[in-house]
Amino acid sequence: MGGYYGSKNKTMEQHVLLRDVDVPNIREIDVYLAHDGYAAWRKALTTMKPDDVIAVVKDSGLRGRGGAGFPTGVKWGFIPKDVFPRYVVVNGDESEAGTFKDHQIIDGNPHQLIEGILLTCYAVQANVAYVYLRGEFYEPAKTLQRAIDEAYARGFVGKNVLGSGFDVDIHIHLGAGAYICGEETALLSSLEGQLGQPRLRPPFPAVQGLYAKPTVINNVETLANVPPIVLHGAQWYRQFGTEKSPGTKIFCVSGRVKRPGNYELPLGKYTIRELIEMAGGTIDNRPVKGVLPAGSSAPILPASALDTKLDYESLQAAGSILGSASFVILDDTVNIVWAARKMVRFFKHESCGKCTPCREGTYWGLRLYDKILSGHGTREDIDMIAEVASQMSGKCFCLLGEFATSPMLSTIKHFREEYEAFIAAHQGGRRNGYDDELIREGVIDEAGNLIVGHVGQKTAHHL
Amino acid sequence: MEAHHLLREKRTSEIEAILAKYPPERKRSAIMPLLYLAQEEYGYCSPEAMREVAEILDLDPTEVKSIVGFYTMFFEHPVGKYVIDVCDDLPCALRGADQFVSHCERKLGIRAGQTTPDGKFTLRTVMCIAACDRAPVIQVNRVYHYDMTEEAFDRLVDALANENGTGEAPNEQKQGLDVL
Ligand SMILES: Cc1cc2nc3c(=O)[nH]c(=O)nc-3n(C[C@H](O)[C@H](O)[C@H](O)COP(=O)(O)O)c2cc1C
Ligand code: SF4
Ligand code: FES
């Protein structure tokens, strides 16, 4: 079994998801069983019809935790009647920069995920579930596989579970390093053994998903919510969160704070400022420069937005999104041009290459950042970056391309003077603190000259 | 034993277990788990390795090659015995990952993207690996090492370099993987 990963930040009397914070060793099946484990599963199989499970999840108002926030019960309801087999696919690709919540659920509380998968299978009458985990989750996958094996041995998974006549199997499928495989249609392609590239929607996976069969696809954290909802009911669940954003959510806090980690909180109760305080405040108590609420994919929020409440609607009203709630905190020591380049580099690396605006836009975007960061930029390059991003907007095949524009556009919008100051201070290729990484990535040579025609960083792809 | 039957001769039961996860008419789904297996057996996704996977799945080897090329965790060229992946994505970089990578390069005497001349270590930089709160963070053959320091990295590399002449990797750093 892989080593336990996770932060033990006690933020609630009783956690709903990160129960490993409250209960030591809840990853072990006997400990889980002693704490209501598989009670929801028993309850569903003995007292509920599949539609009852869908109904309680609908009533709970649970929204998808993978990024889009779509109501989970509603999605399950889209599965067409009378088409079989159906599949449940669990999205454990967790590759958005700054996101590490599913990692802790899988490692620390795997049975709650398994129970959620089982309940979902029952709700939509699927007999097979695939858990797609990013390839780097090799150790968490071992932990989860061991937990699945235990659940089989106790009769919770397999043929005729608990004498109900319902058969269900759970298989793990490991990815192999590609952010785009977190996008649900790309994930399905990857799982089918094709290139992990997005497909046209519609048809949506609920209608034609895995192997062209009706498929429910949900994020790991989403499904971990299902057992407590089924066990305690929708009203109980709604004691947490707001009317439109019910429940608790795991907030991943990283970057320039003293205690980075996972913090489970009721949605809408606290502000970004309070979240940063929970994480110990910034390193050396520096002023916050900006916050990325959903890793690289969401527009940056300036310090003036720190009093925004932590829920879907409030973040949107503030000009960003809650997404996967991976809060990357930047303080005033961070060079915004450097930070933006890191994010653009991510998208350049992760663009699947299927469509031109994204493939070319991320390439040219990165080239412009290379030019500026290596001290060869001009003020016109700032407008050029904005132009590249605007050209991409609305023209990309999937949301990755759209995400890629947000570090460019939002940092220029809020921090344009800083771009200008950096360019002015580093004219003529003056050496700066970024030489080492730029040389490593093949952007400049040892003398500080831009390498003409370099193809971006040397990465894992070149091996 | 013919070279291109290596996998089928040595890993028969694991291949069967992998294929059993997917509907028989959809066995192409097994391509990624089989590539992991082949990579382990052949050291990388060599032409023979890809040919063998293609044969098991009744695919054209060029199709297997395109899958290998798409992902970062399948190696198209030989790599070191230990592949060290260091995350230098933004959240980790906000906690010193770039300086840490520079240290790794100095310690191993190679640049990221290269393999040591003795074939022992390959160093790569990777995008976020979902452990940003424990930065700097690395993976060695897919095993996480959290909260790295320069000293901890040196100790790890030294231990792997020596291996006490037993050829055995210390602790959990062995290659042999279960079927997943
Ligand atoms: C580029 C891209 C990457 C994504 N990555 C992930 C991911 O790593 N994990 C995830 O659960 N959802 C990810 N999503 C969202 C999925 O497409 C999908 O909305 C989600 O799995 C649905 O599950 P949910 O309703 O439970 O959130 C991504 C979407 C896009 C466009
Ligand atoms: S937008 Fe980017 S990631 Fe999405 S399909 Fe196009 S190239 Fe691929
Ligand atoms: S940024 Fe390094 S693990 Fe996330």
Residues B87 and B152 in one domain: yes
User: Which two structure tokens, joined as six digits, stand for A78?
Assistant: 């889209």
- Confidence (pLDDT) at A433: 87
- Counting ligands in written order, which one lies closest to the CA of residue A105? 1
The Cα–Cα gap between B123 and B87 comes to 11
Contact A141 B180 (CB under 8 A): yes
pLDDT tens-place string over residues B28-61: 999 999 999 999 999 999 999 999 999 999 999 9
CATH code for the domain of B107: 3.40.30.10
Judged by CB atoms closer than 8 Å, whether chains meet at B90 and A97 is answered as yes
Is A122 in contact with A50 (CB distance < 8 Å)? yes
Backbone angles phi, psi at A326, to 5 degrees: -100, 95
A146 Cα distance to chain centroid: 24
Ligand 3 atom closest to Cα of B135?
2
Whether residue B96 sits in one domain with residue B63:
no
Residues A403, A296 contacting (CB under 8 angstroms): yes
Same domain, B125 and B93: yes
Q: How many CB atoms lie within 10 A of CB B42?
A: 20
Residue-wise burial string across A199-212, b where 16 or more C-beta atoms lie within 10 A, e elsewhere: beeeeebbbbbbbe
| pLDDT tens digits, B124-164 | 999 999 999 999 999 999 999 999 999 999 999 999 999 75
Atom of ligand 3 minimally distant from the CA of A99: 4
Q: Looking at the structure, do residues B89 and B155 belong to the same domain, yes or no?
A: yes
Report yes or no: A3 at the B interface, CB cutoff 8 Å: yes
Residues 6+ apart with CB under 8 A from A297: A67, A96, A321, A323, A403, A406
A255 to chain B, any CB pair closer than 8 A? The answer is yes
Write out chain A's pLDDT in tens, 463 residues. 456 788 889 999 999 999 999 999 999 999 999 999 999 999 999 999 999 999 999 999 999 999 999 999 999 999 999 999 999 999 999 999 999 999 999 999 999 999 999 999 999 999 999 999 999 999 999 999 999 999 999 999 999 999 999 999 999 999 999 999 999 999 999 999 999 999 999 999 999 999 999 999 999 999 999 999 999 999 999 999 999 999 999 999 999 999 999 999 999 999 999 999 999 999 999 999 999 999 999 999 999 999 999 999 999 999 999 999 999 999 999 999 999 999 999 999 999 999 999 999 999 999 999 999 999 999 999 999 999 999 999 999 999 999 999 999 999 999 999 999 999 998 877 677 899 999 999 999 988 888 876 554 444 444 4
Cis peptide before B117 (omega within 30 of 0): no
**Rounded (10°) angle between helices A50-60 and A110-124:** 120
Tell me chain B's radius of gyration from C-alpha atoms: 18
DSSP-derived letter for residue B7 is H
Q: State which residues form the domain around B101.
A: 82-162
* Residues B147 and B117 reside in one and the same domain: yes
Peptide bond into A110 cis (omega under 30): no
Whether residues B106 and B158 share a domain: the answer is yes
| pLDDT of B179 over the 50 cut | no
CATH number of the domain residue B22 falls in: 1.10.10.1590
> Would you say residue B147 lies in a domain?
yes
Cβ of A460 within 8 Å of Cβ of B135? The answer is no
The answer to whether A135 faces chain B, any CB pair under 8 Å, is yes
Task: Say if residue B151 is in the same domain as residue B86.
Answer: yes
Virtual torsion, Cα A426, A429, A431, A434, nearest 10 deg: 80
* Closest alpha carbon to A319 in A293, A340, A348: A293
Compare CB distances from B73 to A135, A173, A295 and report the shortest one's residue.
A135
Query: Would you say residue B179 lies in a domain?
Result: no
Any domain includes B174:
no
| Closest-CA distance of chain B to residue A430, Å | 20
If asked whether residues B40 and B94 sit together in one domain, one would say: no
The CA A181 to ligand 1 mean position distance, Å, reads 9
CA dihedral A77, A79, A80, A83 (to 10 degrees): -140
CA gap A121, B53 in Å, rounded: 31
What is the structure's pLDDT at B3?
A: 57
- Return the bridge partners of A250, or none: A264
The residue to which tokens 């709970």 are assigned: A60
In the numeric block, the tokens 């979240």 are attached to A275
Q: Do the domain assignments include residue B171?
A: no
Q: What amino acid occupies position A333?
A: T
Looking at the structure, tell me whether residues B87 and B153 fall in a common domain.
Answer: yes
Q: Which residues contact B27 (CB under 8 A, 6 or more apart)?
A: B19, B57, B58
Indicate if B44 and B87 belong to the same structural domain: no
- Nearest residue on chain B to A99, judged by CA atoms? B130
User: What's the gap between Cα B146 and its chain centre?
Assistant: 18
Q: Which residue of A has its CA nearest to B63?
A: A194
Q: Which amino acid would we find at residue A431?
A: R
Round the average pLDDT of chain B to a whole number and report it: 91
Find the farthest-apart pair of alpha carbons in chain B and give their distance in angstroms, rounded: 52
Asked if residue B180 belongs to a domain, the reply is no
The one-letter code for the residue type at A234 is A
Ligand 2 geometric centre to CA of B119 (Å):
36
**Protein residue with least CA distance to atom 22, ligand 1:** A218
Residue B60 located in a structural domain: yes
| Ligand nearest to the Cα of A196, by number | 2
pLDDT at B2: 55
A100 to chain B, closest Cα gap in Å: 4
Q: Is residue B20 part of a domain?
A: yes
Please tell me chain A's helix, strand, coil percentages from 3-state DSSP, rounded to the nearest 5.
Answer: 45, 15, 40
Summarize chain B as % helix, strand, coil (round to 5): 50, 10, 40
How many whole angstroms separate alpha carbon A389 and alpha carbon A142?
41
d(CA A174, CA A217): 16
Q: Give me the pLDDT at residue A3, please.
A: 66
Evaluate the omega torsion of the peptide bond into residue B136 and state whether it is cis, within 30 degrees of 0: yes
Check CB contact under 8 Å for B89 and A136.
no
| One domain for residues B89 and B140 | yes
DSSP calls for A273-330: HHHHHHTT-BGGGPPEEEEEEEEETS--EEGGGTT-BSSHHHHHHTTS--TT-EEEEE
Average pLDDT rounded to a whole number, residues B98-111: 98
In a domain, B11, yes or no: yes
All residues of chain A having their beta carbon less than 8 Å from the beta carbon of residue B36 are 174, 176
Residue A61: per-residue pLDDT: 98
Q: How far apart are CA B111 and CA B96, in angstroms?
A: 18
Does any CB of chain A come closer than 8 Å to the CB of residue B155? no
Residue nearest ligand 2's atom 6 by CA: A355
Name all residues whose Cβ lies below 6 A of ligand 1: A 64-68, 70, 91, 93-96, 180, 182-184, 217-219, 222, 398-400
Residue B171 has pLDDT above 50, yes or no: no
Examine the fold and report which residue of B31, B46, B70 is the final residue of a domain before the chain moves on: B70
User: In terms of Cα–Cα distance, which of B86, B91, B159, B162 is closest to B125?
Assistant: B86
- Which residue type sits at B129? I
CA gap A319, B153 in Å, rounded:
41
Kindly list the residues from chain B whose CB atom is less than 8 angstroms away from the CB atom of residue A138: 142-143, 177, 180
Q: Where does a domain end: B46, B70, B94?
A: B70
Total domains, chain B? 2
> CB of A435 within 8 Å of any CB in chain B?
no
Distance CA A105, CA A114 (A): 11
Q: B89 with B156, same domain? A: yes
Angle between helices A399-425 and A356-373 (to 10 degrees): 20
- Structure-token match 């040397």, residue found: A458
ipTM of the complex: 0.95
Which domain-ending residue is among B70, B98, B125? B70
- Of the listed ligands, the closest to the CA of B130 is 3
